[in-house]
Amino acid sequence: EIAPEPLPLIHPPHELLVSAYELFFSLFSHFQRVIACFLAQIICVTAQRLNGRQTAPTYQTMPYKQYGQTRA
């Protein structure tokens, strides 16, 4: 009667898979935010470089002196 008690913990591998999946999903969601922020910055920088002529030039794409000369 003492031996069958630890069996329910080991018997269903589904619970172990679910716990491992939850741990992996929590880590993946955390890294997904970091990767999403990193990709968003890259996309913003590339979009500013591609659409630099249409949008207002920023300090990164064009210095302030050139911006004042082109505007004046």
Residue 69 to residue 15: CA distance in whole angstroms: 67
Q: Is the pTM of this model over 0.85?
A: no
* Greatest Cα pair distance in the chain: 91
Beta carbons within 10 angstroms of residue 57's beta carbon? 16
Instruction: Give the pLDDT confidence of 55-71 residue by residue, as tens digits.
Output: 555 555 555 555 555 54
Burial 28-54 (b: 16+ CB within 10 A, else e): eeeeeeeeeeeeeeeeeeeeeeeeeee
Q: What is the pLDDT of residue 23?
A: 86
